[in-house]
Amino acid sequence: MRINRWDRERILVTGGAGFLGSHLCERLLEDNAYVICLDNYFTGQRRNIFHLIDNKYFELIRHDIVNPIFLEVDKIYHLACPASPIHYQYNPVKTIKTNVMGSINMLGLAKRVKARILQASTSEIYGDPEVHPQPESYWGNVNPIGPRSCYDEGKRCAETLFFDYHRQNHVAIKVVRIFNTYGPRMHPDDGRVVSSFIIQALLGEPITIFGEGEQTRSFCYVDDMIEGIIKMMETPDNITGPINLGNPEETRIIDLANMILRLTGSDSEIRFMPLPKDDPQKRRPDITKAKQILNWEPRISLEDGLKETIKYFKKIIEEK
Ligand code: NAD
Ligand code: UDP
């Protein structure tokens, strides 16, 4: 392992100014790393990392990973990619470039400097799953030509690249498949269900349920997710994944809406809207592997996590 003049591991976090990336940077600094946060601010926000800027072990680079970059680092957490359907469908060709060319650039960097690299993959790999809950061995049910394909197929290709760089060039890879994660610092305008419902409830606007609200997701609080991601990075080299990370507690979207209404004390009405194309009907991780290999499982209940998230969005709304 290379060390710098502070005797700290140098860790690159791509997408470090985003929701998950900013929590990861914060946690790695607490764990005594030297953190390089790289972002093009497409969906990331400077306010997410503002509190870290004065830290002498924290460095910020504005860069788009579609272009190569040369750095000396020991580990790479590769998170750069818009994650919400609104954002990744805004410029689908760019989403594919970010996933494919961006991953090639980061894997090339890992190969050159012999860094260990972790891919933030996704439950979208499974598409609209026919197997429930989803184990890592399931190959998925993905539409290759639909509006979500730029993200789903982009992430699938990124996983392929990770495993080919591993087999062909012996790059030390780690792949985690992240299921829906929520918490403070989600982008307020990203249209994801937790942030949208909380903001709508706090502003007294209608809660927009797509479809009947019978579809399910399994929501993991950000602190639990960051713990799982770091545990995966710290496994021995022979452990590559993919490993599912998420909360196996499955919730119907209608139940999520009612829970948020109760926790915010809001009297917003519920409004039913058309279901977007290819919206998966159900999603729940099988986390047997994460339990066995990482000794990890989520600890924070949906209710406790939502309370923290509501506090955050209340503050954002007050500031505005
Ligand atoms: P986010 O949109 O908040 O963060 C992504 C970050 O990547 C942003 O800061 C954005 O500006 C940056 N970025 C995007 N394209 C870039 C590019 N070309 N070059 C440099 N930076 C770029 O999303 P998030 O929820 O924090 O997700 C982080 C990662 O985790 C993503 O790869 C996402 O696919 C994955 N993931 C997240 C979830 C979730 O529920 N949050 C679920 C599955 C997978
Ligand atoms: N959803 C909804 N209303 C919203 C936003 C999302 O009913 O305002 C639904 C969406 O159709 C999906 C689920 O909530 O079934 C989760 O959506 P999100 O975009 O958060 O994540 P993903 O679909 O990528 O899991």
Average pLDDT of the segment spanning 293-299? 98
Is position 257 within any domain? no
pLDDT grade for 1, boundaries at 50, 70 and 90: low
Is position 254 within any domain? no
Q: What is the DSSP letter of 148?
A: T
Kindly list the protein residues whose Cβ atom lies closer than 6 A to any atom of ligand 1. Answer: 15, 17-21, 39-44, 64-66, 79-83, 98, 102, 120, 122, 178, 180-181, 187
- Out of 20, 24, 66, 117, mutate this one to test ligand 1's pocket (max ligand atoms within 8 Å of CB): namely 20
Is position 308 within any domain? no
* 151 catalytically annotated: yes
Is position 91 within any domain? yes
pLDDT grade for 5, boundaries at 50, 70 and 90: low
* 261 vs 258: CA distance, rounded Å: 5
Total domains, the chain: 1
Query: Among 77, 88, 126, 151, which one carries the catalytic annotation?
Result: 151
Range of the domain at 240: 10-182+221-248+284-299
Over pLDDT 70: what percentage of the chain? 98
pLDDT digits 0-9 by tens, 266-289: 999 999 999 998 898 999 999 999
Is position 73 within any domain? yes
* 77 vs 11: CA distance, rounded Å: 8
* Maximum Cα–Cα distance across the chain: 58
Is position 118 within any domain? yes
Identify the pLDDT of residue 208: 97
Is position 238 within any domain? yes
Position 3 pLDDT exceeds 70: no
* 51 vs 47: CA distance, rounded Å: 8
Is position 116 within any domain? yes
262's CB contacts (< 8 A; 6+ apart) are none
Please provide the size of the chain in residues.
Answer: 320
Whole-structure pTM value: 0.96
Nearest atom in ligand 1 to 97's CA:
18
Name the closest ligand to CA 217.
Answer: 2
* 195 vs 122: CA distance, rounded Å: 19
Q: Which residue reads 């601010």 in tokens?
A: 41
CATH for 128: 3.40.50.720
pLDDT digits 0-9 by tens, 118-157: 999 999 999 999 999 999 999 999 999 999 999 999 999 9
Identify the pLDDT of residue 278: 87
Nearest atom in ligand 2 to 213's CA:
7
Q: Which residue has the higher pLDDT, 320 or 52?
A: 52
Nearest atom in ligand 1 to 190's CA:
2
Identify the pLDDT of residue 83: 94
Query: Token digits for 199?
Result: 């903001």
Q: How far is CA 12 from the centre of its chain?
A: 16
pLDDT digits 0-9 by tens, 173-228: 999 999 999 999 999 998 999 999 999 999 999 999 999 999 999 999 999 999 99
Q: Is 210's C-beta closer than 6 angstroms to any atom of ligand 2?
A: yes
* 187 vs 183: CA distance, rounded Å: 10
